[in-house]
Amino acid sequence: MTTKHQNRGLVKQGKNDAAVINLPYPKLRDDFIQVKTIAVALNPADWQDLEEQELKPGSPPLLIGCDYSGIVEAIGKDVSKDLKIGDRVMGFAHGTNVDNHEDGTFAEHITAKGDLTIRIPPSLSFTDVATVPCGVGTAALALYRHLGLPLLPETVAGSPWILVYGGSSASGSIAIQFAKLSGLKVVTTCSPRNFDFVRGLGADAVFDYRDPGCTRQIRELTSDTLKLVLDTIATSETAEVSTQAMSSSKGGIYCNLMGVDSPRKDVKAVFFLGYTGLGETYTFLGEEWPVVPEDYELVKKVLALSEGLLEDGKIKPHPAAVRPGGLGGILSGMMDLKNKKISGEKLVYVIGKED
Q: Dihedral angle at the C-alpha atoms of 70, 74, 79, 80, nearest 10 degrees?
A: 80
- C-alpha distances out from residue 47 to 18, 44, 94, 115, 130, Å: 10, 6, 13, 27, 18
Q: Which of 31, 32, 26 is nearest to 9 (CA)?
A: 26
Average pLDDT, the chain: 95
pTM score, whole prediction: 0.95
Point out the residues of the chain with pLDDT beneath 50: 1-2
In one-letter notation, the amino acid at residue 37 is T
Query: What SS3 state is found at 282?
Result: strand
d(CA 29, CA 25): 13
What's the pLDDT tens digit per position in 267-314?
999 999 899 999 999 888 788 889 999 999 999 999 999 999 999 999
In one-letter notation, the amino acid at residue 25 is Y
Query: For the chain, where are the alpha helices, taking DSSP H only?
Result: 44-52, 126-129, 133-141, 170-181, 195-200, 214-221, 236-244, 293-311, 326-338
